């Protein structure tokens, strides 16, 4: 059986809530993506098909692992602040999120 490469960038399949009038935009790696109020940054990124949030010190790609703030694998640069856990930060309009490389400094 072939691998599953068709990771869709649309958020229709992943969010239970419908994108309503209160949808707003944030920026991930320079591109605009849509977010819903109350979501964590991790949820917004996953809903938009972005699983790869960081590259570790050995260069390997990493993403959300525990989802509850224990593992620190989803740390990225949120509004310029490195080592922010995407799963623990609530998304806000106009936020900019970047992939973190190594320690992020």
Partner 1 sequence: MSAAVEAQRRGARVTLIDEALKPGGQIFRQSATNQKLIVGLPGELKRKTELLLRFDAIRDRIDYRCKHTAYALFEGPELHISDDDTSEVLRPDVVVIASGVCERAIPFPGWTLPGVVYAGAAQALLKSQGLRFGERIVIAGAGPLPVAVAAQLVRAGARVVAVAMLYPLRGMLLQPWALWMGRSVVKEGWQYLNTLRHNKVELLSAMVPVRADGCRHIESVQLARHDGTGRHLAGTERRIGCDVLALNYGFTVNSELANMAGVRFEYNPGRGGWVPVTDHLCRTSVAGVMVAGDGAGLRGARVAECEGRIAGAAAACYFNDTGTDQLEQELEKEFRQRRQHGVFQRAVQQTLYLPRGVWEWADNDTVVCRCECISLHRIRQAVAQGHTSMNGIKRNTRAGMGWCGGRMCMQNVAAIATAGRAPGDLPPMTPRPLARPVTLRSLQNQRTP
Contacts 24+ apart (CB under 8 A), 80-83: none
The only residue of 26, 33, 35, 53 in contact with partner 1, by rule CB under 8 A? 53
**Interaction between residue 64 and partner 1 (CB under 8 A):** yes
Query: With CB under 8 A, what is the number of residues at the site for partner 1?
Result: 46
Assigned token pair, 1: 């059986």
Q: Which of residues 7-26 bind partner 1 (CB under 8 A)?
A: 7-8, 13-17
The sign of the torsion formed by the CA atoms of 29, 85, 34, 52 equals: positive
The only residue of 9, 21, 30, 60 in contact with partner 1, by rule CB under 8 A? 60
């Amino acid at each position: 059986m072939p691998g599953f490469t068709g990771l869709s960038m649309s958020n229709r399949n992943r969010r239970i809530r419908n994108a309503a009038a209160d949808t707003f935009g944030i920026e991930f790696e320079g591109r605009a993506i849509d977010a819903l109020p109350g979501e964590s940054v991790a949820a917004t990124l996953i809903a938009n098909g972005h699983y790869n949030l960081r590259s570790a010190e050995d260069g390997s790609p990493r993403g959300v692992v525990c989802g509850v703030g224990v593992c620190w694998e989803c740390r990225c640069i949120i509004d310029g602040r490195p080592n922010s856990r995407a799963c623990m930060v609530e998304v806000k309009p106009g936020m900019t999120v970047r992939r973190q490389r190594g320690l992020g400094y």
